[in-house]
């Protein structure tokens, strides 16, 4: 951390509830409960928040998982990376930047943008408290599965395009769209994080450099030209490519080689690396990844429309009827059918399984005959006994 967080004196085991003396334990370390041996992490305090786990870090800050004891909810906390010294121009500039970024994100009220709860300071260093998303990042998801099914990748791209559209309407350009900055809810909805992180900065030699992830930045960023929302569309295209193929469109042994390949060559088509991708999705990516911003989608509405059309065609081709899409895929339903819910329509269209009796008719007949013979024998026996 960029400051000394407050230690806690005591923690309760998350399994058995035993109170454990934490005064001599290392902060953020993992210990075993003396009673039940369950693993526990030694938390620290930032303001009124109990911070118990690092989640990741970017160019500007480190993100931790935390718990708000007042509101009884999980949150995420982003802490400014590096030392902050009062009176130091560099420190003050970084502080202003993270505060401006948080205020900008707080101004966007959209379900596909991570919500900012508040901005505060601890020992003079600012931190951002935001909503906690338990699904991890898109990068984590691709690492686990190598690549994503086309429908899942398209839905994530649609979610993020809608979030970027909302940001654009607020006058913001993300400038660092990449898999790490796309977080997922438990239900699988995607949300954007870290607006305004990538930008040009002066390095120690006084030369300009590109700050951002080389695999996802647009060519105009590499050339240090003006950027706008079409630069974000390009980066979103690189991320969609990554989800479908498990690799970005441009890959090389060095950052310089990645930049030069992006400037010299058109982006490869996604079907070169994943032949299962549909033609419509391939065509959408071709336009998203044009080198010239003028040749890309001019507005997010155009992009979202084509992504949704690609999803629609994919589900038609593969006959994927789900509760969320079946209603829009059925043409001219009759009145009775139209009044059913999507789940009821799926149940109606599903093939009916034959009953147990129909499936096992010979066995049922055999058992019926056996039972009849047994009953007949018992009846005859009772008759003779009565005589």
Q: Count H helices, E strands: the chain?
A: 13, 15
Catalytic residue flag (residue 176): yes
How far apart are the C-alpha atoms of 331 and 355, rounded to whole Å? Answer: 31
Picking from 283, 278, 101, the residue whose alpha carbon sits closest to that of residue 176 is 101
DSSP secondary structure string for all residues of 194-243: -TT---EEE-TTS-EEE-S-TTT--HHHHTT----HHHHHHHHHHHHHHH
Picking from 253, 124, 233, the residue whose alpha carbon sits closest to that of residue 175 is 233
Helix, strand, coil percent values for the chain (each to nearest 5):
40, 20, 40
DSSP state, residue 172: -
Query: What radius of gyration, in Å, describes the C-alpha atoms of the chain?
Result: 30
How far apart are the C-alpha atoms of 44 and 39, rounded to whole Å? Answer: 16
How far apart are the C-alpha atoms of 280 and 308, rounded to whole Å? Answer: 10
- Of 159, 176, 232, 306, which residue is the catalytic one? 176
DSSP secondary structure string for all residues of 359-381: HTHHHHHHHHHHHHHHHHHHHHH
Phi then psi dihedrals of residue 83, to 5 deg: -75, 145
How far apart are the C-alpha atoms of 237 and 125, rounded to whole Å? Answer: 36
How far apart are the C-alpha atoms of 115 and 192, rounded to whole Å? Answer: 9
Picking from 123, 112, 108, the residue whose alpha carbon sits closest to that of residue 46 is 123
Q: Are 108 and 170 in contact (CB under 8 A)?
A: yes
Q: Between the CA of residue 107 and those of 167, 169, 171, what are the distances in Å?
A: 9, 11, 10
Distance between the two ends of the chain, CA-based, in angstroms? Answer: 99
Strand partners, 45: 6, 50
Residues 6+ apart with CB under 8 A from 3: 79, 84, 122, 123, 124, 125
Task: Give the catalytic positions in this structure.
Answer: 176
């Amino acid at each position: 951390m960029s400051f000394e967080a407050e230690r806690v004196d005591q923690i309760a085991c998350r399994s058995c509830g035993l109170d454990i003396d934490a005064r001599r334990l290392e902060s953020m370390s993992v210990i075993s409960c003396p009673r039940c041996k369950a693993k526990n992490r030694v938390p620290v305090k930032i303001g009124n928040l109990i911070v118990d786990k690092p989640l990741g870090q970017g160019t500007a800050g480190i993100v931790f998982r935390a718990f708000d004891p007042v509101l009884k909810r999980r949150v995420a906390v982003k802490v400014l990376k590096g030392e902050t010294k009062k009176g130091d121009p560099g420190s003050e500039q970084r502080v202003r930047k993270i505060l401006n970024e948080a205020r900008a994100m707080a101004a966007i009220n959209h379900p596909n943008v991570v919500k900012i709860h508040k901005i505060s300071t601890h020992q003079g260093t600012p931190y951002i408290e935001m909503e906690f998303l338990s699904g991890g990042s898109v990068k984590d998801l691709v690492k686990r599965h190598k690549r994503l099914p086309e429908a899942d990748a398209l839905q994530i791209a649609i979610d993020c395009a809608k979030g970027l559209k909302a940001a654009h309407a607020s006058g913001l350009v993300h400038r660092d769209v990449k898999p790490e900055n796309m977080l997922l809810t438990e239900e699988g909805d995607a949300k954007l994080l870290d607006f305004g992180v990538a930008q040009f900065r002066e390095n120690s030699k006084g030369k300009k450099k590109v700050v951002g992830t080389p695999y996802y930045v647009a060519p105009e960023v590499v050339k240090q030209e003006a950027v706008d929302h079409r630069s974000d569309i390009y980066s979103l295209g690189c991320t969609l490519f990554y989800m479908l193929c498990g690799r970005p469109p441009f890959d090389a042994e060095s950052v310089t080689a990645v930049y030069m390949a992006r400037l010299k060559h058109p982006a490869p088509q996604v079907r070169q690396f994943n032949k299962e991708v549909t033609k419509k999705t391939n065509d959408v990516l071709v336009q998203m990844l044009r080198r010239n911003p003028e040749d890309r989608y001019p507005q997010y509405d155009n992009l979202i429309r084509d992504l949704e059309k690609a999803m629609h065609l994919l589900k038609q081709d593969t006959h994927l009827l789900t509760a969320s899409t079946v209603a829009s895929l059925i043409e001219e339903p009759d009145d009775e059918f139209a009044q059913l819910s999507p789940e009821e329509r799926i149940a109606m269209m599903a093939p009916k399984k034959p009953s147990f009796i129909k499936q096992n008719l010979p066995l049922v007949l055999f058992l019926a005959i056996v039972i009849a013979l047994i009953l007949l024998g018992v009846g005859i026996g009772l008759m003779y006994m009565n005589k």
